Amino acid sequence: MTGVTSPPLSLEEAQRRLMWLAPQLPVEHRATAECAGFYLAHPISAHRAQPAAPLSAMDGYALRAADLPGPWTVVGESAAGHPFAGTVEAGQAVRISTGAILPAGADMVLLQEDAGRQHDTVTLTGTPPDPTGRHIRPAGMDFADGAPLLPAGLRLGAAQIALAIAGGHQYLRVRRPVNLTVIDSGDELGRPGQPLAPHQIPASNGPMLAAMAATMPVKITRIGPVPDDLPSLATALEAAHGADIVVTSGGASVGDHDLVRPALEAAGATIDFWRVAIKPGKPLLVARRNRPNNATQVILGLPGNPASAFVTGFLFLLPLLRAALGAESPLPRTIPARLAHGMPAGGSRTEFLRAHWDGASVSLDPLQDSGALSPLARANALVVRAARAPAVPAGTDVPVYLLETGGIA
Mean pLDDT of the 370-390 span: 93
Report the 10 Å Cβ neighbour count for 396: 13
Higher pLDDT, 8 or 292: 8
* Of 324, 337, 285, the residue nearest 308 (C-alpha): 285
Same domain, 87 and 181: no
**What pLDDT shows up at residue 220?**
97
Given a contact cutoff of 8 angstroms between Cβ atoms, the answer to whether 301 and 286 are in contact is: yes
Same domain, 192 and 275: yes
Higher pLDDT, 263 or 119: 119
* Pairwise CA distance, residues 163 & 47, whole Å: 11
DSSP string, 3-40: -TTSPPBPHHHHHHHHHHH---PPEEEEEGGG-TT-BB
Last residue within a domain, chosen from 324, 346, 369: 324
Same domain, 398 and 343: yes
| Element at 300 (helix H, strand E) | strand 296-302
133 falls within a domain:
yes
Mean pLDDT of the 122-142 span: 95
Question: Kindly report the CA angle at 314 between 311 and 317, in degrees rounded to 5?
Answer: 115
Q: Tell me the β-bridge partners of 335.
A: 400
Same domain, 249 and 287: yes
Given a contact cutoff of 8 angstroms between Cβ atoms, the answer to whether 318 and 325 are in contact is: no
**Would you say residue 1 has pLDDT above 60?**
no
Q: What percent of the chain has pLDDT over 90?
A: 78
408 falls within a domain:
no
* Pairwise CA distance, residues 386 & 378, whole Å: 23
**What pLDDT shows up at residue 343?**
94
Given a contact cutoff of 8 angstroms between Cβ atoms, the answer to whether 312 and 353 are in contact is: no
Mean pLDDT of the 62-85 span: 96
Q: What share of the chain is helix, strand, coil (3-state, %, to 5)?
A: 20, 35, 50
* Pairwise CA distance, residues 176 & 29, whole Å: 9
Question: What domain range includes position 107?
Answer: 55-137
132 falls within a domain:
yes
CATH of the domain at 358: 2.40.340.10
**What pLDDT shows up at residue 405?**
55
**What pLDDT shows up at residue 5?**
53
* Of 400, 237, 381, the residue nearest 334 (C-alpha): 400
Question: Kindly report the CA angle at 320 between 316 and 325, in degrees rounded to 5?
Answer: 155
pLDDT tens for residues 10-47? 999 999 999 999 999 999 999 999 999 999 999 999 99
* Of 352, 367, 356, the residue nearest 316 (C-alpha): 352
Instruction: Return phi, psi of residue 113, to 5°.
Output: -75, -10
Number of domains in the chain: 4
pLDDT tens for residues 271-293? 999 899 999 998 899 999 987 77
CATH of the domain at 93: 2.170.190.11
Instruction: Return phi, psi of residue 100, to 5°.
Output: -85, 155
Q: What percent of the chain has pLDDT over 70?
A: 96
CATH of the domain at 226: 3.40.980.10
**Would you say residue 406 has pLDDT above 90?**
no
**What pLDDT shows up at residue 75?**
97
Confidence of residue 166 (pLDDT cuts 50, 70, 90): very high
Q: Which residues contact residue 32 at a Cβ distance below 8 angstroms, ignoring those fewer than 6 apart?
A: 161, 164, 165, 169, 170, 171, 172
Give exposure, 171-192, as e/b (b: 16+ Cβ within 10 Å): ebbbbbbbbbbbbbbbebbbee
Same domain, 278 and 294: yes
Mean pLDDT of the 100-122 span: 96
Same domain, 122 and 149: no
Same domain, 39 and 161: yes
CATH of the domain at 160: 3.90.105.10
Given a contact cutoff of 8 angstroms between Cβ atoms, the answer to whether 65 and 132 are in contact is: yes
Confidence of residue 228 (pLDDT cuts 50, 70, 90): confident
**Would you say residue 407 has pLDDT above 80?**
no
330 falls within a domain:
no
DSSP string, 238-265: HHTTT-SEEEEES--SSSTT--HHHHHH
pLDDT tens for residues 303-351? 989 999 999 999 999 999 999 999 999 999 999 999 999 999 999 999 9
Same domain, 113 and 243: no
Last residue within a domain, chosen from 324, 349, 381: 324
199 falls within a domain:
yes
Same domain, 276 and 154: no
**Would you say residue 144 has pLDDT above 70?**
yes
201 falls within a domain:
yes
225 falls within a domain:
yes
157 falls within a domain:
yes
Same domain, 101 and 224: no
**What pLDDT shows up at residue 257?**
43
**pTM, to two decimals:** 0.89
How many helices and strands in the chain, by DSSP H and E?
8, 26
Same domain, 187 and 225: yes
At residue 76, what is the residue type?
A: G
Confidence of residue 229 (pLDDT cuts 50, 70, 90): confident
| Element at 383 (helix H, strand E) | strand 381-385
Same domain, 85 and 204: no
SS (H, E, C) 179-199: EEEEEEECCCEECCCCCCCCC
